[in-house]
A and B are shown apart, each in its own frame.
Chain A
């Protein structure tokens, strides 16, 4: 039996404010909250909220047979809590339905898995805790930033306890194999790998309302027929898209929401089913191994990291940022930690691409780089002020440990002193 696995991804970066170099060292607040709020509000109203409503309707109409997964970053949840609590409510409803799986995602949509393993752990852990505390769900499947994947990443994530990971069905790792099966990872043989069917996914993201597209117009029945026509061995067809496909990339007027709503009926009619990634990993067995010695993503022509760290600007930015990872891990300052998380957002790197800048608020890659580097310079300066580079990391760690131990020691002694005093008083009386 064929199964369809839908995943929708939600993430928005904090908008950085225009930060000039003469503010470095004076102004430590980097964000344009108005712009962020405005953008998120717009996105929620035109896309995310109607999409969640539609998913809810699909579950109800199919009597719980429609299953899907959501990747919602920690940053995104923070923003929902702040700007759009109605999103939290509806996500809670979806979580309660048991038909929607919440995926493990780096908290601030960072490339940490490529650059710093311990930061990667922290990011996944933080997001997992957030999902658990708000939605009461335990994330089991990994949607790494931009579907970033390599054998090594798979191994590292397996060590963290994840059993399933999602990535792009890129031609260079699949060669002639079908993306529509469960694979095992060459990096961690017990880790199951699901691969995105890029043709069918892109058909929704990019071609749904394109009259020049060979399949135009796409309707639910046609799409279900297309799914049905895959060969017998294809067990799981993964259609994973950015949630903004619905309402933004393809506007509501294109009928994309109605299309989605109608789909379960036609799929179920053709005796196919819906699965979440976790269900697929549990029920379907992996017959083949997939190997990716180099990083793989769902972006660009090359399906690698080049969109984000391919040019000199991007290289300098990310290297400078991750160079202080160890230092930041040592520190306790709350605002510094918040900035550290936010500045890792992959979108800031995407804006620095010369050819494809994504949804950039900047005029050019250079403009994006200048602003980010000014912010980063101030951030690095604050890190430096807290822990000067003249002290080695290990030494610093030792010193910090001593301080903490001393604190504990002082506390213990104080308690002892207190109890002795009270005993003394008792004895006196």
Chain B
């Protein structure tokens, strides 16, 4: 089974959960012996782990025919791709893309981020997809998130191979209902054209069915999983006087930071010895600092700023409670990461991961009282901490990407054999 996947991010250089999920899923799927994955991203950095799949950088694929000799190409590609591959792909050019600005190799210079001209970049990605569809051999196309749907759809039209799209989020999650019509149109077309739609939670599946008018039979849920820690023992909880309650993520409307502040104020009105941390950055940060000051809890509420890599796990391992009061979270991998290092988690019912977690506290994002009550219980009742700590860790260690990979494989088989 050969899969051609279109993605936008891949570790170690990631901006959000999409990259983490792409890595986990492909790694899990690679455990199937006959699985060959080609993963396209706009701009690889060269230090991606390619041991279990092949990564192709869209910025090394020629979309406009340029006459260059072997040595020049070799020198210009700087090892990102072999000249043989370059020439092979160049033979896949069928359309005239001279309107797109390209470099001397005929390649597009992708930013690989989420720039202001995102829509244009998505269109350019489509052009790359056409070249790949003409020059690669594959059985199925798999597009991760809306940025790559147009590329997937185009590849499907060219190759006639079935298209599976993977919905990691919808614009309804990102905008709290205030949907951007251009984005919606792209998402909608991708879903309409797809042979099957994979959603990361039932919550997202319902959105796809209800808001995007998709046939429920065509939409499946495959919950995300979490990569096991290489050395879980290196994360130790240091002894400290105060209990630590942590929020970690982008400080934006979607993540519901204000509910965390209000819950903190409730807890602090009754108890001492608890500190609150809001790690991360985002457009709501200034507003949150204001709110904290207004509630008069600034001495117990801290903003350490953006954290990355190992810092995140260390922060989580240090905490007594991790809280994710997201207003709308298609899946939300971070509570699973917190539970991995033994930190009890409180999550909102509006988070997809709530569907698969038993040993986490679930409240509605707006139910500040329930959230405060849960925080209080974890820091005050030792059995509560102990149960969530032990059982939560065990639970998360059983959520494996290879199982998710098998589910995706069954969907591939079903789509190809028309049995789904």
Contacts and interface: CB of A to CB of B under 8 A. Distances in A.
B181 interface: no
A24 B270 CA distance: 9
B100 interface: no
Given A20-B369, A373-B381, A311 B387 contact: yes
A354 interface: yes
Interface in B346-391: 358-359, 361-362, 369, 372-374, 376-377, 380-384, 386-388, 391
A316 B361 contact: no
Given A20-B369, A21-B270, A354-B358, A312 B383 contact: yes
A369 B384 contact: yes
A21 B387 CA distance: 20
Contacts of B391: 354
Of residues A317, A369, A370, A374, which shows the largest number of chain B Cβ atoms within 10 Å of its Cβ? A370
Interface in B66-93: none
A313 B372 CA distance: 19
B50 interface: no
A213 interface: no
Contacts of B373: 20-21, 370, 374
A369 B374 CA distance: 10
Contacts of A285: none
B269 interface: yes
Nearest to B375: A21
A22 B270 contact: yes
Interface residues of A, number: 20
A370 B381 CA distance: 9
A97 interface: no
B237 interface: no
A369 B383 contact: yes
Contacts of A363: 362
B266 A22 contact: yes
Contacts of B266: 22
Interface residues of B, number: 22
B226 to A, nearest CB: 21
A364 B380 CA distance: 19
A360 to B, nearest CB: 14
A208 to B, nearest CB: 31
A411 interface: no
A21 B368 CA distance: 12
A20 B372 contact: yes
Interface string A313-326: 10111000000000
Nearest to B271: A21
A370 B269 contact: no
Contacts of A370: 373-374, 377, 381, 384
Given A354-B358, A370-B377, A22 B372 contact: yes
A366 interface: yes
Contacts of B270: 21-22, 24
Of residues B266, B270, B361, B387, which shows the largest number of chain A Cβ atoms within 10 Å of its Cβ? B387
Contacts of B372: 20-22
A428 to B, nearest CB: 66
B391 to A, nearest CB: 7
Given A21-B270, A374-B373, A312 B387 contact: yes
B374 A364 contact: no
A21 B381 CA distance: 12
Contact of A369 (B269, B358, B359, B377): B377
Given A312-B387, A316-B384, 7 more contacts: A21-B373, A22-B269, A22-B270, A313-B383, A315-B383, A369-B381, A377-B380
23 contacts: A20-B369, A20-B373, A21-B270, A22-B270, A312-B387, A313-B383, A315-B383, A316-B382, A316-B384, A354-B358, A354-B391, A363-B362, A364-B358, A364-B361, A364-B362, A366-B361, A366-B377, A369-B383, A370-B384, A373-B377, A373-B384, A374-B377, A377-B380
What 8 pairs across the A-B complex have the smallest Cβ distances?
A316-B383, A21-B376, A312-B383, A370-B377, A312-B387, A313-B383, A20-B373, A312-B386
